[in-house]
Structure 1
Amino acid sequence: MTQKTTRRDALKAAGAVTSAAGLTSLAGCSAILGGGGGGGSGTVTVSSKQFTEQEVLGYLAVEALKANTDVNVQDEVGLGGSVTNFEALKSGQTDLYWEYTGTAWATLPPKHSEVITDPEEIYSKVQSEFESEYDITLLDRAPFNNTYVLIVREQWANDNGIESISDYVSWAQNNTDHTMVMNAEFQERDDGWPGLVEHYGFGDTADQLTVKNVGSSLTYEVVGEGEATIGMGFNTNPKILKFDLQSLEDDKGFFPVYNPAPMVDQAVVEENPSIEEPLNEVANSLSTETIRGLNRKVSIEQQDARTVAKNYLKSEGIV
């Protein structure tokens, strides 16, 4: 039986090939796809990565463009990982997706090991570099930052007057009899627990703590149920809301910044200038609490991501 090759199959295959082979050309994919992502024809193809937050962001872009422009919007939401989306964009097979500034800086070529914790600095550097290297630009970045955080129970934080990592470090010096939970990778990474301990001068005290490894998705429940005092999480995870947790302020600026912004082919913006305003409006509306709430509707309440995105845009008057 003959199998039909869909557009999405071809896009994913293109990303997988280039991921394995490095920065090789994707020009041959156009023959499979029957054309590119629509750079100059009034067609804009929106893709995204394959997890809840990215699907929400993807559909926010799709619905905002459909309602506010005359372009023909093609939906490739949930296309694949960072490399697949970037290669599809770079080759002209898609036209935009939301990328995090920290991911673009550290993960996408040419890759940088320097950690930048200032949101505007890393945004400006990524935007300048990608415009120069690839003729790809970033539109406005969203205020929310999907970075690592240390999480505690909100009531515990209030009872102990702890709002920041420095507050926690000071408290822990006299209270070493408690448990911290994190995944094994975070415990070993230089930009994880070892680096954090050094950055905050926490060495001697940290050695006295009980540290347990749990999966990232379980950390929130373990801390929320009081089985550990503190844990590692991600700032926009909706389980922070579900388990009444609080993320501690990274007051000494250790963790990298991960603000998302629409990453767009420059030619597409020039040929379809109407897309810029609605995408920027969406980006600027997304606070940490807002995206946590949207993520919660999809991942915890099991609502449809596209419906959640559309309802949010209506509530904000964007559509």
Structure 2
Amino acid sequence: MRRRLAAVLLALIVCTVHAQEPLRVGSKADNEGALLGQVVLQVLRHHGVPVVDRTQLGPTSIVRRALLNGDLDVYPEYTGNAAFFFHRESDPAFRDAAKAYALAASLDHSANHLVWLAPAPADNHWAIGVRGDVATRESLRTLRDFARWVNRGGNVLLAGSAEFVESDAALPAFQSAYGFNLRGDQLLVLAGGDTSATIKAAAEGISGVNASMVYSTDGAIAITGLVVLDDPAHVELAYQPAAVFREEALQRYPAVRAPLEAAFRPLTVDMLRRLNARTQIDGEDAAKVAADYLRAEGLVR
């Protein structure tokens, strides 16, 4: 009897100690990654979970590997990236937001015992933005309208990175789907992939630029008046951000699922643009921006 009681007590002690192990929170090193990482980190802290801050760890390849290797417990990822993780880029499910999430969650749980929490409604993908006055004058709302403008000889000059111009997942995919082709003299190819530079060029008409590659949640969009063209053919994959956990880590703190999903739920495209503008344009610290957001939404005190 005493041995049995001792064994039960030992098991309870082990479980208690195990539950109090901190969660190692990572994120990608870009502006939005830092913001989302801070949202996860601060929600966990608010709910009494011990954490280790490893946000802004690096690019997708590094953060993903750290999670798979057990060096991280959770980080924010985008549903569309699962298509590349599992070599399913041509699967049409990844072009539908709900199906992309369901498939990402299923594949990653089966293969890696990772759990995707419900994603934010924002979809952060490559897109084309056009200066506001030009969009109004030419009645440009979608990429079909953009194709019409190009094909009738419109004065188009688009700024983009070499990756955007050359990648099969970016401009060439848009051109193939919507039936237009930009000549070399209609493209201003900038070094690097900084969308803030291409957005600035289009918004200010630098060198005659009136269109730009963008990411749909770029903070600069919120302050420049650039019109982001809709993609009705769903050329781009759905990229909704979600917190992704190692299953064992989430099992230690199952109560954090609901507050984390509540924290991602208000993150629409417009909300992320406004928050990203504070870090990208105003230079505010991601931790402060995340704290202000969580307080304003009533998610922390």
Q: Distance in 1 between matches of 2:256 and 2:67?
A: 16
Identify the range of structure 1 (292-301 vs 52-61) with the bigger mean alpha-carbon deviation. 292-301
Residue 172 (structure 1) aligned with residue 150 (structure 2): yes
Pick one of 231, 240, 256 that aligns with 2:221: 240
Q: Distance in 2 between matches of 1:317 and 1:91?
A: 35
Residue 141 (structure 1) aligned with residue 119 (structure 2): yes
**Partner residue, 1:213:** 189
CA shift in 2, pair 1:156/1:176, >3 Å = closer
- Equivalenced residue count is 277
- Post-superposition offset of 1:126: 0.9
For residues 290-310 of structure 1, the C-alpha deviation after alignment (integer angstroms, 9 at most, x for no partner) is 111111111211111111111
- Post-superposition offset of 1:271: 2.2
Which structure 2 residue ranges, 5 or more long, are not aligned?
Answer: 1-16
Residue 267 (structure 1) aligned with residue 245 (structure 2): no
Poorly superposed stretches of 4+, deviation over 6 Å:
none
Q: Is the 8 A contact 1:39 1:268 kept in 2?
A: no
- Post-superposition offset of 1:104: 2.6
Residue 257 (structure 1) aligned with residue 238 (structure 2): yes
Q: Distance in 2 between matches of 1:78 and 1:181?
A: 28
Q: Is the 8 A contact 1:95 1:265 kept in 2?
A: yes
What is the percentage of aligned positions where both structures have the same residue? 26
**Partner residue, 2:282:** 301
Q: Is the 8 A contact 2:220 2:280 kept in 1?
A: no
Pick one of 15, 22, 38 that aligns with 1:43: 22
What letter matches 2:221 in structure 1? I
- Post-superposition offset of 1:179: 1.5
- SS of residue paired to 1:75: strand
TM-score, with length taken from structure 2: 0.86
**Partner residue, 2:128:** 150
Residue 192 (structure 1) aligned with residue 170 (structure 2): yes
- SS of residue paired to 2:158: strand
Q: Is the 8 A contact 1:180 1:209 kept in 2?
A: no
For residues 225-271 of structure 1, the C-alpha deviation after alignment (integer angstroms, 9 at most, x for no partner) is 12222221111111112322110001111112211110101122222
- SS of residue paired to 1:60: helix
More helix by share: 2
- SS of residue paired to 1:167: helix
For residues 69-124 of structure 1, the C-alpha deviation after alignment (integer angstroms, 9 at most, x for no partner) is 23212211112222222222222222100011122321x3x333315311111111
Residue 128 (structure 1) aligned with residue 106 (structure 2): yes
Residue 59 (structure 1) aligned with residue 38 (structure 2): yes
Which structure 1 residue ranges, 5 or more long, are not aligned?
Answer: 1-37
Q: Distance in 2 between matches of 1:207 and 1:252?
A: 23
TM-score, with length taken from structure 1: 0.82
